[in-house]
Amino acid sequence: MKTSKIIFVSLLGVIALVILGGFVAARFTGKRNVAGIVNKQIIPSFKVIYIKNCDVSLSYGDSSFISVTGKKDFPFSEINYKLTNDTLRISDIRFSQDSNKRVIIYSTDSLNTIEVVNSDLTIDKFGSKKLRLSSENSFVRFNRNLKDEVAFNSLSIIAKKHSTIDSDDFKTNNLNIFLEKSEADLNITALRISGTLSDSSSISIKQADDISIKKDSTCRISINN
C-alpha cells in the first residue's frame, strides 16, 4: 500500500474515533446536566424578604435572583413570589425529598430584614453588615463559617411561637435576641449580647465581654467558654 493511502486511512480512523468519543462524551455530559439543571430567574434588588410556608436557602450574590436546582427542569410559574417596592414575598415552596429540588434566593448587600413564618430557612452566606431576623414557628440556620471575619456589625434576632435558631461559628459586634416560646443555639462570637427571654425559652451562647439578658423563671441561659 502506498504511503499516501496509509496516511489517508489512518486519518479516517482518527476522525472516526474523535466523532465516536464526542458522541459518548455528549451522552454522559447530557446525563450530568439533566441531573443538575439550574433554572434561574433574575429579580430586582430588595431590602426585605418575607418567607412563608417554604423550605429554601438564602445566599449572597452580586445580583438578586432565584435559583431552582433539580433533576428535571422546573417551571417558574410554580414559584410563588412577589416583589413590591423593596420587599420580596415568597411562599408555599416545599418539595418532597425524592424530588431533589432546591430553591436558593440570592440577594445583594441591600437586604437587611428577614421575616420567616412556618418555614425552614438556611442562610449560607450574607453580604449586609446589619441584619434583623424575625421568625415565627420556623427553623433558621446560619451556615456561615468565617471565624476570622466579622460577619455582622449588628445582628438582631426575634424568635416566637416555637422557633429554633441555630448557627455555625461567626463573629458579630452586637447581638440582640428576643425569644418567646423558642430556643437558640448560637455558636457566635460577640462583643456585646443583650436580649429578653420569656415563656419557656432557652438559649446557648458563647461568653462575651458584655452580656445583659433578662428572663423569667421558665427560661434557661447557657453560656459556653
Q: What Cα–Cα distance (Å) separates residue 76 from each residue in 57, 65, 115?
A: 17, 12, 22
Cα diameter, the chain: 99
> Beta strands of the chain (E only): which ranges?
37-42, 48-60, 65-70, 80-84, 87-93, 102-107, 113-117, 120-123, 130-136, 139-142, 146-160, 164-180, 183-198, 202-206, 210-215, 220-224
What residue segments make up the domains of the chain, in order of their start?
1-35, 38-224
Point out the least confidently predicted range of 136-140, 141-145, 152-156, 218-222: 141-145
Q: Of 183, 193, 203, 191, nearest to 156 (Cα)?
A: 193
What are the residues whose beta carbons fall under 8 Å from the beta carbon of 51, sequence distance 6 or more? 90, 91, 114, 115, 116, 117, 119, 121
CATH topology of domain 38-224: Pectate Lyase C-like (2.160.20)
**Residue 183 to residue 201: CA distance in whole angstroms:** 5
Structure-block grid coordinates of residue 17: 474515533
Q: What are phi and psi of 22, to 5 degrees?
A: -65, -35
Q: Is the pTM of this model over 0.85?
A: no
**pLDDT band (50, 70, 90) for residue 80:** confident
pLDDT score for 131: 93
pLDDT class for 101, splitting at 50, 70, 90? confident
- Rounded average pLDDT over 39-60: 93
Average pLDDT over residues 70-84: 73
How high is the pLDDT of residue 53?
Answer: 96
